[in-house]
């Protein structure tokens, strides 16, 4: 296969049961237990109306402004797959629009993450399929390639391998590596439970805030 213009087979995907469990956890909790070191970048914003994103990654790397390989990825996608597109962050030309969105819905695609632009924003909002992108433009794409499908990509330093878990909500997009999913899930559920306890203590007035002054003293801050 020619590097830069090839389609590989995905050899593993995160299990559906794990996807379902992760879907109940805020992305921020998952990010916290991953030491806050991984993120797709603040430019990836949800363009759909409500609803989170969770599913195995079907990765695409494409020349900025070209969507030929994204069309092929939709044809290859299994139900629930999240098509993650490294389009170089370029916002000149849209990578998907209303027609591709309709085809993806018909195919059962779980959502899109596009480090690039989209168009037909009103149709994306109306369709409710999760779509995260870096921007919107009316200018359409080219369809000449090159590109790659089902090889590792990177978005803002966040490496995504085929079959990794992709999560998204109003706070942004996160990739959980395939091999880390079980460990991260356990830690994220524990983090979520701890935050629920903290919220309850905040609301009933029993929260212990002594840690703030203790931290200031430890760091050498002069207190009144």
Neighbouring-strand partners of residue 115: 86
Binding site for substrate, by residue number, is 97-100, 119
Q: What is the CA radius of gyration of the chain?
A: 20
Binding site for Mg(2+), by residue number, is 120
Residue 2's φ and ψ, nearest 5 degrees, are -80, 125
Binding site, by residue number, is 97-100, 119-120
The tokens for 76 are: 């290859």
Residue 118 and residue 87 in contact, taking contact as beta carbons nearer than 8 Å: no
Q: Checking DSSP bridges between strand 53-62 and strand 82-86, what pairing results, if any?
A: parallel
Can you list the alpha helix ranges (DSSP code H) found in 113-180?
A: 121-127
Residue 117 and residue 136 in contact, taking contact as beta carbons nearer than 8 Å: yes
Interatomic CA distance for residues 198 and 202, integer angstroms: 6
Q: 100-122: buried (b, 16+ CB within 10 Å) or exposed (e) per residue?
A: bbeebeeeebbbbbbbbbbbbbe
Helix (H) or strand (E) holding 175: strand 172-176
Interatomic CA distance for residues 117 and 38, integer angstroms: 22
Interatomic CA distance for residues 176 and 35, integer angstroms: 12
């Amino acid at each position: 296969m020619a590097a830069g213009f090839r389609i590989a087979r995905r050899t593993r995907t995160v299990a559906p049961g794990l996807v379902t469990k992760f879907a109940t956890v805020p992305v921020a909790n998952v990010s916290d237990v991953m030491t806050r070191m991984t993120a797709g970048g603040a430019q990836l914003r949800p363009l759909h109306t409500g609803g989170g994103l969770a599913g195995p990654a079907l990765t695409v790397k494409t020349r900025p402004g070209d969507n030929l390989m994204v069309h092929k990825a939709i044809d290859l996608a299994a139900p629930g797959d999240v098509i993650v597109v490294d389009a170089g962050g370029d916002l000149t030309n849209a990578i998907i629009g209303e027609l591709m969105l309709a085809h993806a819905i018909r195919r059962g695609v779980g959502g899109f993450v596009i480090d690039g632009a989209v168009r037909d924003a009103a149709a994306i909002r109306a369709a409710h399929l999760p779509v995260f992108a870096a921007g919107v433009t009316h200018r359409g794409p080219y369809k000449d390639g090159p590109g790659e499908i089902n090889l590792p990509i990177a978005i803002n330093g966040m490496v995504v391998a085929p079959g990794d878990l992709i999560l998204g909500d109003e706070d942004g997009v996160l990739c959980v590596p395939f091999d880390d999913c079980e460990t991260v899930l356990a830690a994220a559920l524990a983090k979520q439970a701890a935050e629920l306890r903290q919220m309850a203590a905040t609301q009933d007035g029993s929260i212990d805030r002594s840690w703030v002054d203790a931290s200031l003293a430890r760091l050498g801050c002069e207190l009144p």
